[in-house]
Amino acid sequence: MIFALAAVSLLALGCNSQRLNEVTGKVTVDGKPVAGLEVRFEPKDPSIGTTAIGYTQADGSYKLHYPGDNTGAPAGEYSVSISGGEGGIDGAPSVRVAPKYASGTELPATVKPGPNTIDFEVTSN
């Protein structure tokens, strides 16, 4: 019985450390929204969780998705990378994000408990 209670307590603690917080925002490239960009939030401390990913819509908005059909990301510090835009979508002209934004070193972000809106302005060169 004590073992079962301890296991349930540890499981509950593990769930609390993985609480996901809504993360949305907008990405603009040279001041304009671009659809189809990949936005990756890589935790600086791997113990808080794994990478959360979102994709921009035609208006530049994104929403992070977490593994297992979940949305959001655990609270913490992240290195963000933004890539894509190799081809135009629905007849839009092709826009490519500068390669420096794909490394995750240019864009830090902090996810706080609760809803987060984190916007990014990047360039094409």
Say what percent of the chain tops pLDDT 70.
78
Give just the sign of the alpha carbon dihedral 83, 38, 15, 10.
Answer: negative
pTM across the whole model: 0.80
Nearest to 116 by CA among 25, 50, 29, 55: 25
Give the pairing of strands 37-43 and 52-55.
antiparallel
What is the pLDDT confidence band of residue 114, given thresholds at 50, 70 and 90? very high
Mean pLDDT over all residues of the chain? 84
pLDDT at 117: 98
CATH number 2.60.40.10 is the correct assignment for the domain at 20-122 = yes
| pLDDT tens digits for range 55-100 | 999 999 999 999 999 999 999 999 999 998 655 555 555 678 999 9
Q: Among residues 78, 76, 37, 87, which one has the least CA distance to residue 57?
A: 37
